[in-house]
Structure 1
């Protein structure tokens, strides 16, 4: 009985609430999962972006979860929980800022859609299945059409519009049109009188909103100016101040100018290595001629899948032989191929990957010039790097592990996602994966491409270069086929990518490389331990990966400070 006393006393203390509470390490992952579900549910309900009810409800949701975090005793949290805290708070603060900025932008654009309230009212009435009075609704929509027509005429007569007004207005009107389509489909045919009264007025509304959205895009001052660029590519340069803000958010403590300097230093290394390979092939200092030689090694139509399979087998065998990372059997079993459509290749002229590698190669509808550029730009030596970038150990393995380890952290981070795949290109180079001068040229082409991405994307977003200048830079400095360069620039600026996405490849790769030097090269971890651990922590800024692996917990209000690249010594 005496032996039971201490145990019973402990139970009493724990149950009575006098014991110090254990760190709530499980709460934050649950909140992160709940927030994602809550956000999705509200976004589907309040389906017109930027309305007052949308902004208020979403802001309330963000504030609710920020308050939960603020109630925690940060110092009492474990290292893992502190990382979750930092990730979640970062996500919520960015969401709050975006909501605030969106609301301000839309407020400035409100005069362009004075008819908005009528559309909001119609949509909100349908959410809970309100029974409409078809004749009365038709009259309301008829008046709505007159108001939209008046707005169209007013904008047609005016000058071009500032992008800060035209762009959010066009997006808002597109959401209105989609919401009205759902409204109409809900009642159409199910209520015969509704269909009789509303078919013509609704059809007119839909067409007017399409016209208005198109007009606002044409009147966009940025887009109008960019049409003078012969490329015809119309993007949305965000400016110097926003680039700097986003770099801090992504935990990259370098200025745009310093990032361009890093790219130029890495470019210089590539130039030296390219010349070495060119000399080995007998082209001397004319490395562009050596690059042309490599491009001509393309395979005939129908043979590209065989090349991809061979390169996949070689890369996976190489990483296993060198014990670089764990490759789950199911990940190897479940990857597969498909062929990329002609339309998609115009935006993305190279492979994409994950569980499925999408192969970019000519289709019969392409012109002769397009076919040749596609085959030359996806030759086997260029593909030597892209296959393991897209499959294993790159995106295919990443996505497989993300779904199975700490999936609540799974929000896209380009520096982690693309940086990891680029890091493996660099690592396999260092480990001797390229077997010939042609292989080295193929892998160097991609490394030069990632250097170029930093330079052209930053210069574009800072307003220094046009899309055409970016295309010319890729052709002249890297050796791209012109159609492929056009596709790359179009993808970068009109494909829905974050403005920092293109620079994330090289910069994220350099972050992982710096971390590898500190932990693997020093002998503190093996390659396999290092790589497996990163994937099991899921996606996050690489500076937080560093905090985990080095067991260096961030302070509650820490700011990015990891200078992972020595601008004086490297490469």
Structure 2
């Protein structure tokens, strides 16, 4: 049992103006407190399910602030080292959650004038949650008024300034969220309460119809051809240097965006030189793009990709186990499975997606001839060999398998720098161990390594305001050798998909963190490779700076800020 915390955890009170939550549990560790926090957060999220509302923002602002105040009272020096790590993870997560909550609140306030009956609808939804007996005639009057207000806003829409694409999507989503909550509330009373049913049925139908019409109109109420459209049709939201640095801080990464771009360019330069060597070995001299073009032609016929994926997955597991590089539970090997990506999905994910279910990109009959060829060429056996293990074992499937079984309280701290970084780290390690045993396989692995370095360069330059989406597409085609459609899909999902602004840099940055730590602990003889890898997997998905703290028993203080220069190892690659 870890060192007990201060006495105030014996009786923990979380209270706001309207609510009080009391936990009568004695917490013997930060882990126990995190588990209670997760359950409390989940309970509040289910209670206040309309996230874009003043009610939600106020309640969670109180919630995060109070937990931070409790953490601030802990005597950090008295904690055991694992508790210190959990404390810092918890504090960082609370600060991040509070920051993004307040940012969401600001965005909500910027569009709130577009929301009909902003407070009235929430009052009705809240009344329903508590099962309040309602006067049907009074509710019908409210619904009728809200319908009129919605219709007025809809009629005035064309005379109002158009929103940004992001704002249009946000406010349309707010209307949808409220419409669905009103429907849920209405169905609670309808048919059960005769007075409510008799009065409200028609006003409800009119209100929801007007809300749905307004929602659809709002979703398109932005400049369809904005001045910042460079012709690619991709409209993102560059966040700027200050915001990048702030988000890197939440990831416990101390580099500036430009420093990361410089490191990525060094990674690219190393990969480029290795690509030249493989091109020469294949007989194409320094024309590496010609060699790459040849490799793309080695695709298997339509319908034969699934057996290839199975063979590549088995090959990777055998390679790892023969070299005793990590522990692979038999059940992890048994339980993964595969599905095919739809043609629609392949427009934004033209390669693999993975985890317990690996999702395969390959042509279907509904694609055009050009789409079929690009899908086959981009998923040839040598490209696929480099990423099947990334998606399955030792990558995402094994990660998820272990995350569900070890230090599960830390799952709330998950980060793509751990998840994607670990999967790409293995591409580094397997390269060194001669997993690619012919020039075609080397080109396949180097193609992806170039791609991950390029992701840092193009995504940070975009968010810094230096590059347009079209410049990012052209960069991928020129520097990595992407098919144009695949490059476009990559940029589109980076800036218009459901990815955070730092997601695309997380692959290589996280991989460099793990690789630098491996040099420190494995190559120095302090840990075996198997011990190193198993320990990482058994401590769950956390910022890699905290993985380093755990594995090295690093001295920590309450206001820890990472200064780790994990990219320094690149100097030895030159």
TM-score where L is the length of structure 1: 0.91
Are 2:136 and 1:134 aligned? yes
* Alignment match, 2:371: 370
* Alignment match, 2:450: 448
CA shift at 1:178, angstroms? 2.4
- Judging changes above 3 Å, is the alpha-carbon distance between structure 1 residues 253 and 220 closer, same or farther for their aligned structure 2 residues? farther
Q: How does 1:516-527 map to 2 (within 5 A)?
A: 516-527=518-529
Contact 1:106 1:165 in 2 (8 A): no
Are 2:543 and 1:535 aligned? no
CA distance in 2, matches of 1:195, 1:106: 33
* Alignment match, 1:21: none
CA RMSD of aligned residues (A): 2.3
CA distance in 2, matches of 1:97, 1:318: 44
Contact 1:47 1:175 in 2 (8 A): no
* Range moving further from structure 2, 481-490 or 328-337: 481-490
Are 2:293 and 1:308 aligned? no
CA distance in 1, matches of 2:284, 2:118: 65
CA shift at 1:220, angstroms? 4.7
- Judging changes above 3 Å, is the alpha-carbon distance between structure 1 residues 400 and 165 closer, same or farther for their aligned structure 2 residues? closer
Q: Secondary structure at the match of 1:225?
A: coil
CA distance in 2, matches of 1:340, 1:196: 48
Question: Which residue of the other structure, out of 20, 23, 36, is the alignment partner of 2:38?
Answer: 36
* Alignment match, 1:343: 344
CA distance in 2, matches of 1:98, 1:503: 20
* Alignment match, 2:407: 406
CA distance in 1, matches of 2:29, 2:61: 21
CA distance in 2, matches of 1:251, 1:47: 31
CA shift at 1:199, angstroms? 4.5
* Alignment match, 1:288: 289
* Alignment match, 1:6: none
Question: Which residue of the other structure, out of 154, 176, 192, is the alignment partner of 2:178?
Answer: 176
CA distance in 1, matches of 2:203, 2:232: 39
Q: How does 1:242-321 map to 2 (within 5 A)?
A: 242-321=243-322
* Alignment match, 2:127: 125
Contact 1:331 1:397 in 2 (8 A): yes
Contact 1:416 1:508 in 2 (8 A): yes
- Judging changes above 3 Å, is the alpha-carbon distance between structure 1 residues 179 and 437 closer, same or farther for their aligned structure 2 residues? same
Q: How does 1:168-567 map to 2 (within 5 A)?
A: 168-191=170-193, 194=196, 197-220=199-222, 225=226, 228-411=229-412, 412-566=414-568
* Alignment match, 2:70: 68
* Alignment match, 1:49: 51
CA shift at 1:347, angstroms? 1.8
Contact 1:265 1:570 in 2 (8 A): no
Are 2:118 and 1:144 aligned? no
* Range moving further from structure 2, 162-171 or 501-510: 162-171
CA shift at 1:288, angstroms? 1.0
* CA deviation vs aligned residue, 1:200-229 (integer Å, no higher than 9, x gap): 4334433433443444444457x7527734
CA distance in 2, matches of 1:557, 1:73: 12
CA shift at 1:373, angstroms? 0.7
Q: Secondary structure at the match of 2:49?
A: coil
User: Gapped runs of 5+ residues in structure 1?
Assistant: 1-13, 18-23
- Judging changes above 3 Å, is the alpha-carbon distance between structure 1 residues 80 and 192 closer, same or farther for their aligned structure 2 residues? same
CA shift at 1:404, angstroms? 0.7
Count of residues in correspondence between the two structures: 549
* Range moving further from structure 2, 450-459 or 46-55: 46-55
CA shift at 1:461, angstroms? 1.7
Contact 1:167 1:220 in 2 (8 A): no
- Judging changes above 3 Å, is the alpha-carbon distance between structure 1 residues 300 and 165 closer, same or farther for their aligned structure 2 residues? closer
Contact 1:218 1:224 in 2 (8 A): no
CA distance in 2, matches of 1:297, 1:207: 54
CA distance in 1, matches of 2:417, 2:387: 17
Contact 1:226 1:233 in 2 (8 A): no
* CA deviation vs aligned residue, 1:283-318 (integer Å, no higher than 9, x gap): 112111111100111111221111111111111111
* CA deviation vs aligned residue, 1:10-53 (integer Å, no higher than 9, x gap): xxxx9xx9xxxxxx984311221222221122112212223222
Contact 1:31 1:65 in 2 (8 A): no
CA distance in 2, matches of 1:388, 1:433: 11
- Judging changes above 3 Å, is the alpha-carbon distance between structure 1 residues 461 and 208 closer, same or farther for their aligned structure 2 residues? farther
* Alignment match, 1:113: 115
TM-score where L is the length of structure 2: 0.90
* Range moving further from structure 2, 136-145 or 367-376: 136-145
CA distance in 2, matches of 1:553, 1:202: 61
- Judging changes above 3 Å, is the alpha-carbon distance between structure 1 residues 454 and 209 closer, same or farther for their aligned structure 2 residues? farther
Q: Secondary structure at the match of 1:84?
A: helix
Q: Secondary structure at the match of 1:375?
A: helix
CA distance in 2, matches of 1:27, 1:533: 21
Contact 2:522 2:532 in 1 (8 A): yes
Contact 2:116 2:146 in 1 (8 A): no
- Judging changes above 3 Å, is the alpha-carbon distance between structure 1 residues 292 and 516 closer, same or farther for their aligned structure 2 residues? same
CA shift at 1:78, angstroms? 0.9
CA shift at 1:120, angstroms? 0.7
* CA deviation vs aligned residue, 1:79-113 (integer Å, no higher than 9, x gap): 10000000001111111222222223323333222
* Alignment match, 2:22: none
- Judging changes above 3 Å, is the alpha-carbon distance between structure 1 residues 216 and 241 closer, same or farther for their aligned structure 2 residues? farther
User: Gapped runs of 5+ residues in structure 2?
Assistant: 8-25
